[in-house]
């Protein structure tokens, strides 16, 4: 249920940068400053590897806060 609520929050209401930042921090499970595809999927974001790669503009295998905010707007 917690993951469902998080996914709804991220997908439905992530237009504000403060909310997107809070969502980013909660999805970044290991708190390393980046969200991997596995972390995003575990949080309920239904991204495919292709969608994730497209959002990962620097192609380092994780989304930083800016990339994540752009992907969830």
Q: Is the pLDDT of residue 55 over 80?
A: yes
User: What's the CATH number of domain 2-71, 3.40.50.2300, 1.10.238.10, 1.10.3720.10, 3.30.540.10?
Assistant: 1.10.238.10
Q: Is the pLDDT of residue 57 over 90?
A: yes
Q: 25 — phi, psi (to 5°)? A: -65, -35
Q: Is the pLDDT of residue 73 over 70?
A: yes
Q: 60 — phi, psi (to 5°)? A: -100, 5
Q: 35 — phi, psi (to 5°)? A: -105, 120
- Distance in angstroms between the alpha carbons of the first and the last residue of the chain: 23
Q: Is the pLDDT of residue 66 over 60?
A: yes
Residue written as token pair 């999805």: 27
- State pLDDT tens for residues 5-51: 445 444 544 444 444 556 999 999 999 999 999 999 999 999 999 99
pLDDT score recorded for residue 3: 52
């Amino acid at each position: 249920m917690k993951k469902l609520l998080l996914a709804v929050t991220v997908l439905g209401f992530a237009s504000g940068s403060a909310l997107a930042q809070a969502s980013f921090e909660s999805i970044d499970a290991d708190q390393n400053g980046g969200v991997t595809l596995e972390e995003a999927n575990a949080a309920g974001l239904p991204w495919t590897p292709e969608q994730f790669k497209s959002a990962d503009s620097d192609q380092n295998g994780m989304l930083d806060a800016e990339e994540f905010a752009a992907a969830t707007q």
